[in-house]
Structure 1
């Protein structure tokens, strides 16, 4: 034990006091004090060599007896207090141990719940993060709108569509993000979803900030809370552009099939035109009654077959939106006389009575498409004769005024088999035929095509019928009563020496007979080599050039002639292509184009263009399209502009500009294609204008011209040619760029 460490001594004395008790401890303590004091006195006397007196001994004894009670009392009180404190502390510790034992169990349970809650929260955070990651990586549009139609949240795909972040979109309404018209549709669908709590699905083209159009299928569903209350809607948009392309492909395949059929009909027209032309010419000859009857049967059969071909071709035109109407002033009396002659031939074949009623209140002339009007009426008359075995066919023509609009009406009434009442609403449907041996014949498309033509002419075509008693078809067209045009004095056409380049005997026979009847001298070449030889050996004033020849096409023959002879007469294409445009012939070196079979009216109009002083003022008309003559030589570059630029721009900069254009074109063309697929005329014009400007800036004249056509929806048959122009740009721009770079380097 360390003598200088008082703490153990204190514990020792306290323990001794508690063991001996206060009395014994007092005696022991007194004895110890007296002994200690006596020892101290003896030690001091010895040290200082002084004698030890009794008084000193008595003083030590008295001091020990006096101090001991107080010390013992003090220690006793302290020990008791300490002992009481110890006991209280022990009790407290015991209680605390008990509380600690209970709390420990509770704390353990609480800690366990906290850990589980933290794990659950972590799982929720991970699940939310995973779900959010799934939404953001999804290519589909995902969005949430509130009851007012404002964005609450969306994924990144939706943000890319608008070029904004989710935070920027939150709170925006449809009118803040979509074009005005589409925003109204979105709002209406939104309200319908909220009101009916039903899913709404629609498809639409949506445009990205870079101008690219994508076709989306968008589903909007009501968003319900746990109380089954609608708190907004959630929407999903899927890119179905590829599906749309596939649909377009299927539609194109269907159109191609129709084109194939129309091509077959085109090929059959050649012998058919010969039959019609020759039989018409023979009908003018002096034949006996039986021969005339047979010849009329041949003639009408050929015409009927031609009408079926026309229906097929018109069906293809309707599908391709190529059915163009040409308004012209029609003299009503002349038109009715022609119609009566045609109807008479039809009715006579079946010994039917023909009644023709013409009201006196008809206008002198109307503005309409005479060819299409004649086609519709011919179809109605043909059907009336076809389904009437005996009795009569009545054709009425009258004028009327309805709702301040003047109308010209035709009625074709027959006494034939009639049409059941429940079939009347289907009679104008495509390919529909009334069942029954007396009804089912023909193609089933004539009335459908006629109905479409009439609608395009802003007219009405209706039918009334009673089964077994006949049918009445009524055609009404709006008419503008115009003053009859003053007929120009017919120009005296010169008699020409004409080279007819044609390889089909029937076509030669009909064309030669028609031309020689007008006094022209006609020479024939049946292939390209013969044509070149005849031009070398003779002087012709006009060359009529067939395009499809056995040894070479008409374009190649024309090109060779122009190489050999700088001075040539007009070379005019003869074509049976019902979809042809004169521009394509002129672009390939010919001077003009007229259709087959040869029509004297179109032929004489062509002569006026080339053999009178009014050539420049007269448009070229072929297959109901009007175009202006263009130069045949095609320029690739704007050399004048390029040379001016090269005077102050270094070659490297010129080449860099061309390279920049080359890099931009794929995106331009892709965006343009998306607008074409969406049939977005405004977008096509806008993107084509951008391509035109870019091409013009680097001097690519051919690409600029093609883009100019694409941005000009007023051009004839613009929709029909838009795909071709687009494909031409795609196939030519890299080639032209390559040539332009060579030209720039060569002229640096």
Structure 2
């Protein structure tokens, strides 16, 4: 709202008028007006007083006016001038005041703005102060938390350090440059240096050169592969003690994944190492003892079996024949008991193996029945054997192991039966795909087994506690070994028994039906010039008599030196070589004969009573085959026919052992030959191709499962690989995979990594051998 201008006074208006019109003009007008006023006043006054007007009244009035008017005019002019000046001064003051007021308004507005800005700044400063206080509080809390965490970390670090120092294990860590970056107290004791002294040193500056090279090599392996390794090595402490450590080395990384170096953890396993060495020594001593006993016992046993068998072929009275038969059966019994002891040792060393061969079930039954019949007759028992058709004529099985299982069961049946009979029944069930489930049923009418004892009879060294059983003694290992053998053959053994009525054992074994013709049981070669190397006269007599009866010519050497001299002088068709000779081993003799080229065309067959070793061990030491003592006529015929009969049928069903010794340890030649004969080369090749395509994936899954320490998955995939390898005849791959799948093995974790590496190598190498064998068979056709 605008202010109304102030009302001006008459004096100001007069002053303004004087100022506008000028002083002179206003003075003249003023004089005239004054004169007129004077004249008029004089006239009025005279008229009131005298009633008449005189001239001198007007003259006096004019003179008086003219005299007083200048002074009045001067006064008035000065007054107006002063008034005008005052007005101008006032106006200037007013203008100045107005300007001051305007400035004051501006200043007031600016002051208001400044006050608002100041208030805003104060508010901002207040807010900033609050934020600063909040930040300070957060900082204080963070400092307090950090301090607490540092204290906690310090306590944890101290605790961790105390734990590491208190650990009985050797612990140290090294950086990327291979220098020590820290260790625990055991490492200080071992090196004789404190942690501060060790930091910055390399293994070459701490260990002796040989140990340093070994340590650096394993460190480099960890850093190159970014994978952990385990190694065992001897470490000598600063005080001279020598300890055996199992070292575990792993790479370690920071939170960003940057590798900082490696950690090493060492467990002192000196006691375990010494215990293992003691166990190994004890095992070797036991094996050596059994090997010695094997030779010493089988030497007289060989004479008893051989001479009694030969004596039975002579003209004897019925009573004499019965006596000789009893001697023969007793010797066979002793031999089978000793086989149980040998197999027990093999079970302890995980070396019990199967040797699959073509077995004629009817001939097999007749052979074992003839011996059991003698034992039963000696006790006045009746023995019956029966084959329930349809039963395959020939199957692929380990006849020796099956015979040993049945012998134990039948011998026990005779031993625990006082009256009545013992029977052996064989039947089979077709499983398809060329497989048959063969059942061997052994029944007796003996004392029986109490129900509560049945679950224990297959335990090692266990014998049934029953009054009626006390008349029969034994080792208590036969049934345990039988169960192990049947399990190894993929079968099972069952038992039913009623005390006082008898017992029935049922052995079921899945076998491959064989379509290959059996090798002829009759000897197909005669007139061989044979060098028999044997140092026991009784064994010489038995072996010479058997060989000469088979139409062969025999020279005898009683020691290794004579054998080498005779081989140098005469070219023999065959050398039968005893392994344990008085002056050297049979392996030494074979080595000399091979080195001198004396047996390029002469097979060497080992004669041995030591059944501890596997057949492959003999083949790998220069032998072409093995005949175990006591020497059996059937085994001699079998070996001679294999080595010397060049017949199409024989070649078709079996390849000479000397040529295929290596292949037999790698491939299942009998299975492969059967597959080729049954489904043809192309189908076999197709199956092998499918295996080759799937195997990388199988191995990758196996490796991943092993890396993740998933034991069940490792065993499951190993089982799958085992089955796949078995279907294409990769025997060695199948065997290694079988080791891996045995997750309950006590040293499984210690060996599984080595087994997997061995499996990987075997797959690569054996596939080439398999391809070569298939190609060779295709060319032969």
TM-score (structure 2 length as normaliser): 0.51
1:106-117 to 2 correspondence within 5 Å?
none
Distance 1:157 1:451, change over 3 A: farther
Task: Identify which of 657, 666, 682 aligns with 1:619.
Answer: 657
Correspondence for 2:478: 446
- Displacement of 1:275 after TM fit? 0.6
Task: Identify which of 280, 285, 302 aligns with 1:252.
Answer: 280
Aligned pairs, number = 462
- Displacement of 1:366 after TM fit? 2.9
Q: Distance in 1 between matches of 2:480 and 2:767?
A: 28
Distance 1:681 1:346, change over 3 A: same
Q: Does 2:502 correspond to 1:470?
A: yes
1:66-465 to 2 correspondence within 5 Å?
127-137=155-165, 139=167, 209-212=227-230, 239=267, 245=273, 248-249=276-277, 251-252=279-280, 255-256=283-284, 258-260=286-288, 262-263=290-291, 264-400=293-429, 406-436=436-466, 438-440=468-470, 441-465=473-497
Task: Identify which of 581, 602, 605 aligns with 1:549.
Answer: 581
Query: Does the 8 Å contact 1:574/1:595 carry over to 2?
Result: yes
- Displacement of 1:455 after TM fit? 0.9
Query: Does the 8 Å contact 1:393/1:413 carry over to 2?
Result: yes
- Displacement of 1:209 after TM fit? 3.1
Distance 1:252 1:124, change over 3 A: same
Q: Distance in 2 between matches of 1:383 and 1:567?
A: 46
Query: Does the 8 Å contact 1:311/1:446 carry over to 2?
Result: yes
SS at structure 1 position matched to 2:441: strand
Distance 1:157 1:620, change over 3 A: same
- Displacement of 1:121 after TM fit? 11
Distance 1:248 1:536, change over 3 A: closer
Query: Does the 8 Å contact 1:355/1:393 carry over to 2?
Result: yes
- Displacement of 1:425 after TM fit? 0.5
Query: Does the 8 Å contact 2:358/2:518 carry over to 1?
Result: no
- Displacement of 1:617 after TM fit? 4.0
Query: Does the 8 Å contact 1:416/1:468 carry over to 2?
Result: yes
1:480-629 to 2 correspondence within 5 Å?
480-483=512-515, 485=517, 492-535=524-567, 538-558=570-590, 570=602, 572=604, 573-581=606-614, 593-607=626-640, 611=644, 617-620=655-658, 626=664
Distance 1:624 1:568, change over 3 A: closer
Query: Does the 8 Å contact 2:306/2:631 carry over to 1?
Result: no
Q: Distance in 2 between matches of 1:401 and 1:158?
A: 65
SS at structure 1 position matched to 2:577: strand
Distance 1:709 1:592, change over 3 A: farther
Correspondence for 1:680: 751
- Displacement of 1:536 after TM fit? 5.6
- Displacement of 1:280 after TM fit? 1.1
- Displacement of 1:347 after TM fit? 0.8
Q: Distance in 2 between matches of 1:261 and 1:524?
A: 28
Query: Does the 8 Å contact 1:332/1:365 carry over to 2?
Result: yes
Q: Distance in 1 between matches of 2:370 and 2:534?
A: 32
SS at structure 2 position matched to 1:680: helix
Query: Does the 8 Å contact 1:609/1:618 carry over to 2?
Result: yes
**Unaligned stretches of 5+ residues in structure 2:** 1-146, 183-221, 233-244, 247-264, 667-745, 769-781
- Displacement of 1:376 after TM fit? 0.6
RMSD: 4.8
Distance 1:300 1:285, change over 3 A: same
Q: Distance in 1 between matches of 2:463 and 2:521?
A: 49
Deviates more, 1:124-133 or 1:321-330: 124-133
Distance 1:685 1:394, change over 3 A: closer
The Cα offsets for residues 551-598 of structure 1, whole Å up to 9 and x where unpaired, read as 333344455556777577625132332133566556655565543333
Q: Distance in 2 between matches of 1:414 and 1:423?
A: 18
TM-score (structure 1 length as normaliser): 0.53
SS at structure 1 position matched to 2:469: coil
**Unaligned stretches of 5+ residues in structure 1:** 1-118, 143-154, 167-205, 217-236, 629-674, 690-707, 716-748
Query: Does the 8 Å contact 2:390/2:427 carry over to 1?
Result: yes
Tell me which structure has the larger Cα radius of gyration: 2
Distance 1:474 1:586, change over 3 A: closer
